[in-house]
Amino acid sequence: MSSNYYEVLGVSPDATPEQIKKAYRRLARELHPDVATGEGAEDRFKDVSRAYEVLSNPEKRQMYDRGVDPSAPGGGGDPGFGAGFGFQDIFETFFGGGQGGGGQRGPVPRARRGQDALVRLEIELREAAFGAHREVPVDTAVLCSTCQGSCCRPGTSPRTCDVCGGRGVVQRVARSFLGQVMTSSPCAACHGFGTVIPEPCTECSGEGRVRSRRTLSVDVPAGVDTGTRIKLTGQGEVGPAGGPAGDVYLEIREKRHETFVRRGDDLHCTLEIPMTAAALGTVVQLETLDGSRDIDVRPGTQPDQVIVERGLGVGHLHVGGRGDLHVHVDVQVPTGLDAEQERLLRELAALRDEERPASRLSPAHPGVFSKLRDRLAGR
């Protein structure tokens, strides 16, 4: 086999450390004695290991590039697993890294962030239109007032775990095809925290937090609708051991209004007027979200005609301004006429030459909101 370490690993002399490591891992998988069965595989594995030992160490690589082989006798290094090349490289080659969090990781913090909460808030149409201030009760976890999140009985403190010595992990020796390997796993005695609570707080049972009901003050902006979520940062439950609080998300549900139907930021209602008022015109007083308003019904108003009152709808969320109020006119045809009323209508029909009106067919007439739905859909 070539004595050129770069050729042994199949890399160029200007290869990066990552390229050298990647090449070694590939060859080590192919040539390791427990894997390869071909003749000379063991010798090739030793050559690859020696080349990697030199080229993975910056100082040894500099010496080698100057013509000195540090792995040769008297060359300033020993063949095999020397400085810059250790068992961790072999372990990563076959397992992709340490197990159980690795022996290098320290104990995990006991304090953790609290969970977020979703709370549904039911509001009236008027509150959605103009915005509102609400007090919302929330059942959540708050900081324990007795231990202030330390989890310990007052006057005591956490104690270093005797099993793992405060590291949070324990190491065990296991056998593999590589021989004995060292694995790490979270300490079962302290659950990876590195400390134990000898005397837990009796108020929170060592949690550092207790369940409680809080009242949140919420400003509901104008324009919210069913499904809108309002985020209250840091108003959720306190985490274990006094960890940072999570967030609260208020999900809006708008109640159905007895008069108005909401479509986006516009409001729709139906105004019933008698046939005579539609024909002659009138002024009708309508109770809106803004109070009483005079609605001008022009002479000759037809059934299902829409009267638009600008700016009497729901506020636009975040951008200001308001939607409109759409008043759909429903003309009521009189029934139960007495003799005098029937006579007058017949006279009117005669004057308008409508005693025997000509028949005329037209397409089926959709309802008010069916037409609105078609219009919104672009049909």
The Cα–Cα gap between 234 and 142 comes to 12
Six-digit token string for 272: 């019933």
Is 269 annotated to bind a ligand? Reply is no
Quick one: which of 75, 9, 87, 88 has its CA closest to 47?
9
Is 152 annotated to bind a ligand? Reply is no
The Cα–Cα gap between 64 and 67 comes to 5
CA distances from 368 to 14, 306, 330 (A): 78, 9, 9
Q: What is the pLDDT along the chain (379 residues), one digit of tens a residue?
A: 446 888 888 999 888 988 988 888 888 777 766 666 667 777 888 888 888 888 888 888 888 887 777 766 554 444 433 334 444 444 444 444 444 434 446 688 999 999 999 999 999 999 999 999 999 999 999 999 999 999 999 999 999 999 999 999 888 776 666 666 777 888 999 999 999 999 999 999 999 999 999 999 999 999 999 999 999 999 999 999 999 999 999 999 999 999 999 999 999 999 999 999 999 999 999 999 999 999 999 999 999 999 999 999 999 998 889 999 999 999 999 989 999 999 999 999 899 888 777 766 767 555 555 655 555 455 5
Residue 103 exposed, middle or buried by CB count within 10 Å (0-12, 13-18, 19+): middle
Quick one: which of 228, 221, 328, 231 has its CA closest to 271?
328
Terminal-residue alpha carbon distance, the chain? 79
pLDDT for the residue 239: 95
Residue 154 in contact with residue 147, Cβ under 8 Å? yes
Quick one: which of 109, 117, 165, 170 has its CA closest to 141?
117
The Cα–Cα gap between 104 and 97 comes to 11
Q: Which CATH number does 5-95 carry?
A: 1.10.287.110
CB atoms within 10 A of CB 232: 18
Which amino acid appears at position 77 of this protein?
A: G
pLDDT for the residue 93: 45
Domain 261-376 has CATH 2.60.260.20: yes
Residue ranges matching CATH 2.60.260.20 in the chain: 261-376
Its sign, for the CA torsion 347, 350, 351, 352, is positive
Residues 341-349: contacts with CB under 8 Å, at least 24 apart: none
The Cα–Cα gap between 163 and 71 comes to 41
Six-digit token string for 287: 């109770």
The Cα–Cα gap between 235 and 112 comes to 15
Continuous segment of H or E residues that includes residue 30: helix 17-31
The Cα–Cα gap between 163 and 152 comes to 20
pLDDT for the residue 368: 52
Residue ranges matching CATH 1.10.287.110 in the chain: 5-95
Six-digit token string for 228: 């809108």
Six-digit token string for 348: 């009117």
CA distances from 227 to 120, 129, 136, 252, 254 (A): 9, 15, 17, 5, 9
Residue 334 exposed, middle or buried by CB count within 10 Å (0-12, 13-18, 19+): exposed
Six-digit token string for 349: 């029909």
The Cα–Cα gap between 153 and 197 comes to 9
Quick one: which of 212, 193, 96 has its CA closest to 146?
212
pTM: 0.61
The Cα–Cα gap between 192 and 187 comes to 5
Residue 100 in contact with residue 186, Cβ under 8 Å? yes
Strand 159-160 relative to strand 195-196, pairing: antiparallel
pLDDT for the residue 366: 56
pLDDT for the residue 1: 40
- Phi/psi at 43 (5° precision): -65, -40
Residue 134 exposed, middle or buried by CB count within 10 Å (0-12, 13-18, 19+): middle
